[in-house]
Every structure is written in structure tokens, then in C-alpha cells.
Amino acid sequence: MTGLLARFSPVAHLAAVLAWIVPVFLSFDPGTPLLFLALSVAVVFILGQVRVTRFAGFVLPLLVLPFGLFVLNLLFTDTRGHSGSFIVLGLSMNSYALHRAIVLSLRSEALVVISVSYLIVVDPLSLVNGLMQQLGLSPRVGFSIYVAWNTIPRMRTDVTRIRSIHRIRLRGRDRRFADIVPTAVTLLAGAIRHAQRAAISMAVRGLDSGSPRTYLNEARWHSRDTVYLLANLAVTAGLFCLSVGEGWFVFGLG
């Protein structure tokens, strides 16, 4: 992890982030998502010491999702039984539709920001290592994730190459959508074979030997991880109580 967060286990931070997500997911009001959005942004900048431009580079493209939800809910919400309306740019809008659009878009925006704020500070490979050592994730699953991770750059190159080679074979004809299936089949065939070989490689090197496994890079759970997790849970509970106390929190899933 980056900045001061590097001192803590990525598993502890994952638990903290999951704790932030729960109240956001259960709320149907604008205040609660905003509180946890602010918390995640504060953690990512203060503890994670992430540059604003880098964070914005990840988050801004993803904001298309909350924006889409906003427009969809504003225009297509069932407003029967909700008569309040107002005029914007000469168009009559339903007040309930606007409220719903704001609430749902803020909720999705908070979920996007919280997720990005985790992904941007955590090294995925350290997370897998932490999950294997601290949460008992099966090494077979953990190392399979490593293999998949190593394969991603190769697959990306392969997609471009396969499509170019198909284009040459078809005398420059770019089949676009028609080429998706053959390209996917070729990639899948290669990936399956790669996975089979990797599975054999893992097996012959004793992954399933049954003896207790040790780790070169031990990722122990320290007392500071417990403190970090408890502090986060306390802050989460505090913010949730604040939201309820102020009358902001409204329970709702849809």
C-alpha cells in the first residue's frame, strides 16, 4: 500500500473499506453516502498520500456511471402518487424523481470512489499474499490469481495481434464484431492450456503436498492492524450514528 497505509495490512484496510460500504449500500439519502465518500477521500489523500491527478484519472471516467443513473432516474422514475414538480430550462420535472436521481447517483458515486480509493493504494499481489496468510485463502487459489495476473499483459498484446493477423488473412477486411468470437476462442484456448500447464507446474512443485506451508515474505497480522481496523470501525459507527442522529439516514435498497 502507499503512504502511511503501507504500515498496515491490506487485509485490514479491506475490512475497513467493506465496513464503509455497508451503510452506503443500505442508505437511501444523500447525506450518508457523502459522509463516507468524504472519509474515503480523506484516507486516500492523507494516509495513502495519493496525488490528486492520479486519483482523478481513475475516478473521473467512472463517474459516467452515477451520471447515467442520475439521468435515467430523473427521466424514467415512476412518479405516480408524487405530484410535486418544478421547472428547469422550461421543462417540468418531478420533485420525487429528482430526489431519487440524486440519492441513487450519490450512492453509486460513493461506491465508485470508495472502491477506487482502495484499489489505488493497494498492491493486488500483496493483498493476495495477505489473504493467503491472514485469512487462510487456499494457496492454490492465491497462486492461480498470481498466474492470471502475470497473464494479463500477454493477453492484452495477443488481442491486438490476433485481430491484426485476421485482418491480413482476410485481405484487409476488418470484421469488427464478427471477429470477436474467433479472437475470444483463440485467447480462451491459449488461456486454458496455460492454466493446465500452470496447474501441473504447481502440483509437481509440491503445492498439494499437505505439509504446512511457510512463506518467504511473511505477512503477519500485527497489533497495529487490529488498532487500525478497530479505529476504522469506530469512525464508521460514529459517522453512521451522526447520520442517524441528524435524521439524514433513510433505509432503502432501490
Partner 1 sequence: MEDYSGVLIRSEHLTIRYPRATAPAVENVSLEVLRGDRLLLLGPSGCGKSTLLFAMAGVIPAHVSATIDGSLVRSAGRIAVVLQNPEAQMIAPTVELELAFSLENSGLPAAQMTERIDHALDDFGIRDLRHRSPSTLSGGECQKVSLAAAVAGGPEILFLDEPTAFLDPRSTRSFFTLLQRVDRSITIVMVEHKIEFVRNFVDRYARMDKPNGSDSSIVETGLVSDSRTADTLTPHYWFTGFEERLEEPRSVFPASMSTAPLLEIDSLHHVYPPATVALHDVSLSVYPGETVVVMGPNGSGKSTLLDRIAALSDGGGKAARNLDGMRIVAGKRRRAASIRIRGRDVRRIPGHTLYSLLYLIPQNPEHLFLTDTLAEELSVQGSDGTAIAEVTERFRLAGLESRNPYSLSEGEKRRLNLCCAQLDPRDLLLLDEPTYGLDASAIASLVDLLVLFRRAGRTLVIVTHSPELAHLVADRLIILDRGTVRFAGPPGELLLSPDPSLREFLPHWSNVQAPVSREEGSEA
Task: Name the site residues for partner 1 (rule: CB under 8 A).
Answer: 125, 139, 143, 146-147, 149-151, 153-154, 158, 161-162, 164-174, 182, 185-186, 189-190, 193-194, 197-207, 209, 211-218
Q: Which is nearer to partner 1, 57 or 182 (CB)?
A: 182
Q: Which is nearer to partner 1, 30 or 139 (CB)?
A: 139
Q: Which is nearer to partner 1, 189 or 231 (CB)?
A: 189
Question: CA-CA distances (angstroms) from residue 241 to 21, 23, 244?
Answer: 15, 10, 5
Q: Which is nearer to partner 1, 147 or 233 (CB)?
A: 147
How many beta carbons lie within 10 A of that of residue 82, not counting itself?
Answer: 14
d(CA 217, CA 48): 22
Min dist CB 235 to partner 1, Å, is: 33
Min dist CB 217 to partner 1, Å, is: 7
Min dist CB 119 to partner 1, Å, is: 17
Cell of 167: 485482418
d(CA 5, CA 15): 14
Min dist CB 174 to partner 1, Å, is: 8
Min dist CB 14 to partner 1, Å, is: 18
Q: Which is nearer to partner 1, 53 or 209 (CB)?
A: 209
Report the candidate in 210, 192, 225 with the shortest Cα–Cα distance to residue 139.
210
Q: Which burial class, exposed, middle or buried, applies to 156 when counting CB atoms under 10 A from its CB (0-12, 13-18, 19+)? A: exposed
Q: Which is nearer to partner 1, 64 or 170 (CB)?
A: 170
Q: Which burial class, exposed, middle or buried, applies to 3 when counting CB atoms under 10 A from its CB (0-12, 13-18, 19+)? A: middle
d(CA 164, CA 172): 9
Q: Which is nearer to partner 1, 82 or 166 (CB)?
A: 166
Report the candidate in 178, 135, 188, 200 with the shortest Cα–Cα distance to residue 158.
188
Angle (nearest 5°) at CA 214 between 210 and 216 = 145
Establish how many alpha carbons lie within 13 A of residue 120's alpha carbon, considering only the half-sphere containing its beta carbon.
Answer: 25
Min dist CB 10 to partner 1, Å, is: 14
Report the candidate in 65, 22, 48 with the shortest Cα–Cα distance to residue 243.
22
Min dist CB 60 to partner 1, Å, is: 22
